[in-house]
Amino acid sequence: MKVQKSIEIAAPPEKIWPFLVEPEKILEWCSTFIKFEYTGKQRSGVDTPFYLEEKAGGPLMKLNFRITEWVENERVAFSMISGNFVKGYEQSWAVEATPSASRFTFIEEVKLPYGIIGKIIGLFVQRDSEATVGKMLPKLKNLAEA
């Protein structure tokens, strides 16, 4: 199941960046995230570990991630290393400066267990995920433009 959405934000990338890497700011716009905390001494860059609790319509997911890409003011991506209820989970958040603003792109790819049954469930869950992301991005826009 893959969700990809973008939004224009009337702010430079450096004003948006803190909302992509600071736990308290992430929780302000990612409405499905209940808890986000870095779990090691490292707080930035590739291989930074973090723990996430997410409630996205189903049961509470408890997930451990590591950051796979980190380009300050441009892109952060992360991949699940362990967790419950999903087989795989990756997200990337990218900010691209435009002549008048910035374009933020959210990409999420979730792999469900249970083979073909998981793929069928994913088709139904994808609509809900797209709607949720569609509500989260305007929150990010409002926060970054404030």
Residue 56 pLDDT: 86
Q: What is the pLDDT of residue 125?
A: 81
Find where tokens 């950051």 sit.
67
% of the chain with per-residue pLDDT over 90: 83
What's the total number of domains in the chain? 1
Q: What share of the chain is helix, strand, coil (3-state, %, to 5)?
A: 30, 40, 25
Q: How far is CA 89 from CA 17, 49, 105, 140, in A?
A: 22, 14, 17, 21
Is the separation of the CB atoms in 109 and 85 below 8 Å?
no
Residues 21, 44: Cα–Cα separation, whole Å: 8
Residue 63's domain is classified under what CATH number? 3.30.530.20
Alpha-carbon distance of 54 to 75, in angstroms, equals 21
For residue 117, what pLDDT band results from cuts at 50, 70 and 90? confident
Predicted local distance difference test score (pLDDT) of residue 124: 77
Which secondary structure element, helix H or strand E, spans residue 66, and what is its range? strand 61-71
Name the maximum alpha-carbon separation found in the chain. Answer: 46
3-class SS of residue 132: helix
* Interval 3-36: pLDDT, tens: 999 999 999 999 999 999 999 999 999 999 999 9
Beta-carbon neighbour count of residue 57 at 10 Å? 10
Facing residues of 9 across strands? 102
Domain that holds residue 125: 2-145
At 115, the pLDDT band (50, 70, 90 cuts) reads confident
pLDDT at site 35: 98
Lowest average pLDDT, out of 39-48, 59-68, 97-106, 118-127, goes to 118-127
Residue 52 has pLDDT above 80, yes or no: yes
The structure tokens listed for 123 are 């088709």
Q: pTM surpassing 0.95?
A: no
Cβ pair 52, 65 in contact under 8 A = yes
